[in-house]
Each structure stands twice: as C-alpha cells, then as structure tokens.
Structure 1
Amino acid sequence: MSHNHDHSHGTENVSDGVLLWTVIVNLGLSVFEFVAGAISGSVALMADALHNTNDAAALLIAYIARKISRKGADEHYTFGYRRAELIGAMIQLTALILVGLYLVYEAVRRIFEPEPLLGGWIMAAAGVALIVDVITAWLLWSMSKGSLNVKAAFLHNLTDAGASVAVLLGGAAIYWLDWSWVDPVITLIIAGYILYMSSGMLKKTSRILMEGTPPELSVDEIKEALEALDGIENVHHIHVWELDEHHRALEAHVVIGEARSMEELESLKTTIKTHLDERFSIGHSNLEFESAGKSCHSRANEKHCNS
C-alpha cells in the first residue's frame, strides 16, 4: 500500500497543481467577464461570468476534496477519507443543476423581454472566455477519467465552453444580422444538456453515498457463484456496496457443511476472497462462517442474521 502511494505522489502533486491553476485562471476570467459585461451592458456576459464563478468554486471544491481524500484511515474514519471526493462531486453537481435551471429562466425571459447588446464587445469577451474554457477542460480531461469529483469539474468547464460558444454566436448574430433570438435559443440547448448530464452523474454519486449495490453486479449471481465453490452449502446476509468509485466491498455469512480446522477455514476464506476479486472486482470482503446446524439462516437462529 505504502509503495503505491510513494510511486504516484509526484503525479498527484502535478495534478493538484494543475487543478489549483485552473481555479486561479477561472476566477480571473470571471472578473474579466464581469467588467466586459458592465462596459457593454450585456446581461449574457454577466450570466456567463456567473457560470465561470461557479466553475471556479467547483474547481476549488474539487481541489480541497482531492487533498482530503488522500488522508489515511484513522480511528474516526476507519475506511479513510476517500469519499470526500464524492461529497465534492455532490456539491458541484447540485450547483451545476441550479446554474442550468437559472440559464433556462434567463433564456425564457430574454425571449419575451429582449435586451439590447453590443455585439462586438460580446464576441471579443466570449472569444477570450472560450479559449480559457477549452484550455481548462483539456487540462482536466486526463484527470477526470478516474474521479467523479474531477469529472464533475471537467463537465463544469465543458458546459461553460458551450456557454461561451453560445454567447459568441449570439454576439455575431446580433452584430451582423440583428438576430437577438439566437442567444436564448442556444442557451436553452446548453441548459438542457447541463441538466441531462448532471442528473445522471448525480444519480451515480448518490447511489455510492447511499451504499447501493453497483448496478453491474447481481447479489443473486454472487450468491450462486459462491455456493458453487467446494465446501459451501449456503451464502446469505449478503451486502455489496462501493467505498468509492474504485473500491467495492462485501459482507456475507457463509455456511459450511462440516466442522473444519482453522487452516481449512483460512484456505476456504482465501479461495472465496480470490474468487470475489477476480470475478466481481470486490477487493474488500468481511466473511462470517457458520456451521450448517447453527446457521442463522435457519428459522431457529434467524434473529442473529440481523445482528
């Protein structure tokens, strides 16, 4: 365990540095867009600045959560702090859904109450914002593959790049064609994408925090697979959950047919754990062995199954 940590420490520090820089850059972009929006009188730029501010906050949460998640287990948190990233993802996704709903409101309002905008200023500011958003999303992309927390931050910036495109196109349409309706229509499309993607990730994050069974696993299939092993008569009281998106855990009562020595039980336990790891990618398992006559699975001892 400690060797793996030391081996990846340098890479993690680089990733943290990238994440921190994206926070700083996005805060700077927010200030720039607020100023540009005030000069041009553009509500669209102010809304995009609000979105960027939310992105900067989301990235800061992701940075802090990554730091906390690496703390080792202690007497207060015996599984460690790895779920801190999931909590960070939950906060980000909730905020992103609120931003999506706000964009829907703002787009609908502008359809019925169009406001004059300076197309040239909008295009210039949105162009700068788009460049920053694309660079930030590119930096986060490689980090997002193994973390819901960073993936949520990546999604924030990807959707913000889309919002910048919408503002840029809207500015161009206003500047050359006087099509003020383009901006709210594109904003509605982007808001719909934000809400669709965020709700799916929020569902996954919530399931892990609620210790739900991984969707690709079947408790019945696990039961059948274990009961097919030599020496096992029955498996019950099965609980399967995820500590985070990379670590699965299982708890089960295993009924054996006859009394065995400690060496035989240890050998059987090793066989079960190996089978769980290789077939179901369950790396942590807690097994309670019972003899057939004294199994809590029998009606006389059923109350002990819940202990």
Structure 2
Amino acid sequence: MPHDHGHAHIDPQSGDRRVSIAIWANGLLTVAQIVGGILSGSLALIADALHNFSDMASLVIAFFARKIARRPADKRMTFGYGRVEIVAALINYTTLILIGFYLIYEGGMRMIDPPEVQGWTVVILGGVALVVDTLTALLTYSMQKGSVNIRALFLHNLSDALASVAVIIGGSLILLYNMRWVDPAITIGIALYILYLAFTEIGGPIRTLMLGSPPDIDNETVVQAMRGVDGVADVHHVHLWQMQEHEAALDCHVVLTADGWGQIEKIKAAIKDRLKDDFSIGHSSLEFEHEDRAHENADLYGHGKPEKEEENHVHRDTDSS
C-alpha cells in the first residue's frame, strides 16, 4: 500500500518571511511585558515575558534551522543538513518542558503567597499578548503540517495563546473579586497542558535522531514485500530509518536463489521499485548473497554476526539510489 507523506508545500522564502515576522512580534511583546511588569509590580507579567523570550529564541532557532537544512550535502555532512530541523525541534520541545516545570514551581509558590497585582495592566498586556501569540500561531499553522521543527514552534505559540487567555481571565477576576489565587492556579493548569503537548510530541524527533524506523511504515510488511520478489530467498540485516523528516531509507542483505544469482540487476530493480512505489522509500542500498554461502542464522534486523564469519560468505554489493 502506498504511503502518503503529503504535507503543506510553502515557498521557502515565504516561510522565512513568516518566521521573521513572528520573531519581531515576539521580541516587541517581550519588551512590552517586561516594562509593564516592572511598572505594575506584576511578577506574573515578567514571568510571561520570559516565556515569550523563550519563544523568540525558539523562533530564531527555527529560522536558522530552516536555512541550514536547505544546504546540499558535502564532504563534511554527506547526508546533508536536513536533520538540523529535527535537532531544532528537540531543543524547542525540551525548552517547553523546562518552561512547564518552571511555571508549576512559580504557580505553587504564588498559591502560598499570592502577590498584589494591578489587574488592568495584566488584562491589557494579556490582550496584546493574545493578539501577538494568535498571529504567530496563524503564521506557522500551515507550515507546521510539513515540518516537525515548525510544529514544535506552533505548539509553543499555541500554549502561549492559551496562557494569555488565562492571564486575561486571572486579571479580570483580580479586578472584580480580588481573587489573587486564580492567577497561579491557572498558571499551573497551563503548565500541565504545556507538559502534555511537549511529552506527546518529543518522541518523534528523538526517534528520528536515534535512527528509528519511520513510524508510518510497517517493517514486517516491507520485509515480506522484498521476500516476495522472484529470485529472493530471504533478507536479513535490515536497517530502516529516516534520513530526514520526510525521507525514508533502507539497507539490507538480500539472499538470492541459485537461479536469481544470475539476474541480480533485474531483481535489484524490482526490489527498489517495490520499495519506492509501495512504501515511498526512495533511497535503498542492497547487498546480495548467494543462498549457498549466505549468513547462517543471521538476525533480521541489526548488524548481525561477528566479523570472523564474514570470510565464509560471498557478497556482491550493488549501487544505492
């Protein structure tokens, strides 16, 4: 069954402009919140300003990651630079987790001793923050469907927008009822939501960086598809991973029958076509073995047996594509 890796395609320059706008917007918001927090005596606003500063840092990381990822492969980075976006996503999710725990700590401390806050300042700047966070989220929404890096950024901004709503509600309750405990209580709730988002999403980048198999491809089905090609007796030492976020790759040993040994090129083409058409695996490296001299009891996945067994086997490497 073909695997659809479809995602939103946005012109790189247009995407860069969107991220640039978001960086400037978050930078101005951070300055405004720090000034407002100092003037109003609101530690909550200053804490939210630090949160937005982390968002701006995340935007900067994402911006440069996008540019670096477009560099072609070279002798230093033979696989290219595409994974820098995965690294950026991991950094951003890790930042979200740290922020979540920090907000829980701050919220807990304020529940014990809620500080005096000028409600109107909180409400006004909370409204400004909501507008900026919503704008940033909208700028990155269509881009996040095709990039784990931008998705991490989008979730950053989404959590900010929710936090801004909480700040407005908290400021309003302080104005109306002097319920100062509401602000830290809402902060803890938002922090728990941030942690939920981060821990839910961080597994993807970690899996890719750990050379895990693509989550949308069933390994057993791939193996059976290769075994089903005429002339193939078995496969082993299978490695299936993601070179980049939307680029799957495979290498393995293919054991050929005696009749198939004389048709290596034909069988190679058949396997590669099946991998590409059925699983969107565009890069595959295949090493062929004759069934009479194939590895015995070889592992299906991984690197296989000790080197001392290698001299007893006949291999024929093929070009990868």
* TM-score under structure 2 length normalisation: 0.88
Unaligned runs of at least 5 residues, structure 2? 1-8, 299-303, 311-321
1:3: which partner in 2? Answer: none
CA 37–306 in structure 1, closer or farther in 2 if over 3 Å, else same: farther
Q: Secondary structure at the match of 1:258?
A: coil
Inter-partner Cα distance in structure 2 for 1:26 and 1:167: 17
| Equivalent pair of 2:30/2:50 in contact (CA under 8 Å) | yes
| Equivalent pair of 2:231/2:259 in contact (CA under 8 Å) | no
Inter-partner Cα distance in structure 1 for 2:150 and 2:18: 12
Inter-partner Cα distance in structure 2 for 1:130 and 1:215: 35
2:122: which partner in 1? Answer: 122
Q: Are 1:81 and 2:81 counterparts?
A: yes
Note the C-alpha offset of 1:20.
Answer: 1.3
Inter-partner Cα distance in structure 2 for 1:302 and 1:136: 52
Could you say which structure has the greater relative contact order, defined with CA pairs below 8 angstroms and 6 or more residues apart? 2
| Equivalent pair of 1:296/1:303 in contact (CA under 8 Å) | no
Note the C-alpha offset of 1:260.
Answer: 5.2
| Equivalent pair of 2:232/2:260 in contact (CA under 8 Å) | no
Residues 201-220 of structure 1 mapped to structure 2, 5 A cutoff: 201-220=201-220
CA 36–305 in structure 1, closer or farther in 2 if over 3 Å, else same: farther
Inter-partner Cα distance in structure 2 for 1:165 and 1:125: 11
2:319: which partner in 1? Answer: none
Note the C-alpha offset of 1:214.
Answer: 2.3
| Equivalent pair of 1:213/1:240 in contact (CA under 8 Å) | yes
Note the C-alpha offset of 1:215.
Answer: 3.0
For 1:72, give the aligned amino acid: P
| Equivalent pair of 1:254/1:289 in contact (CA under 8 Å) | yes
Note the C-alpha offset of 1:254.
Answer: 0.4
For 2:49, give the aligned amino acid: A
| Equivalent pair of 1:296/1:304 in contact (CA under 8 Å) | no
1:284: which partner in 2? Answer: 283
Q: Secondary structure at the match of 1:283?
A: strand
Inter-partner Cα distance in structure 2 for 1:237 and 1:36: 61
Deviations 1:241-297 (A, max 9, x none): 1112201111110011025577x3222111111111222222211101111112124
Inter-partner Cα distance in structure 2 for 1:120 and 1:298: 73
Unaligned runs of at least 5 residues, structure 1? 1-7
Q: Are 1:50 and 2:56 counterparts?
A: no
2:245: which partner in 1? Answer: 245
Residues 111-190 of structure 1 mapped to structure 2, 5 A cutoff: 111-190=111-190
Q: Secondary structure at the match of 2:215?
A: coil
Q: Which moved further from structure 2: 157-166 or 216-225?
A: 216-225
Residues 34-113 of structure 1 mapped to structure 2, 5 A cutoff: 34-113=34-113
The CA RMSD over aligned residues, in Å, is 1.9
1:193: which partner in 2? Answer: 193
Note the C-alpha offset of 1:298.
Answer: 5.7
Q: Secondary structure at the match of 2:281?
A: coil
| Equivalent pair of 1:212/1:240 in contact (CA under 8 Å) | yes
Higher helix share: 1
| Equivalent pair of 2:16/2:63 in contact (CA under 8 Å) | yes
Q: Are 1:271 and 2:264 counterparts?
A: no
Inter-partner Cα distance in structure 2 for 1:247 and 1:71: 16
For 1:258, give the aligned amino acid: A
Inter-partner Cα distance in structure 2 for 1:243 and 1:79: 7
1:5: which partner in 2? Answer: none
CA 78–306 in structure 1, closer or farther in 2 if over 3 Å, else same: farther
2:3: which partner in 1? Answer: none
Note the C-alpha offset of 1:152.
Answer: 0.6
| Equivalent pair of 1:69/1:82 in contact (CA under 8 Å) | yes
CA 305–179 in structure 1, closer or farther in 2 if over 3 Å, else same: farther
Inter-partner Cα distance in structure 1 for 2:146 and 2:285: 26
Note the C-alpha offset of 1:49.
Answer: 0.4
Inter-partner Cα distance in structure 2 for 1:45 and 1:67: 33
* TM-score under structure 1 length normalisation: 0.92
Inter-partner Cα distance in structure 2 for 1:303 and 1:34: 61
Deviations 1:161-182 (A, max 9, x none): 1111111111000001211122
2:293: which partner in 1? Answer: 294
For 2:66, give the aligned amino acid: R
Inter-partner Cα distance in structure 1 for 2:99 and 2:285: 42
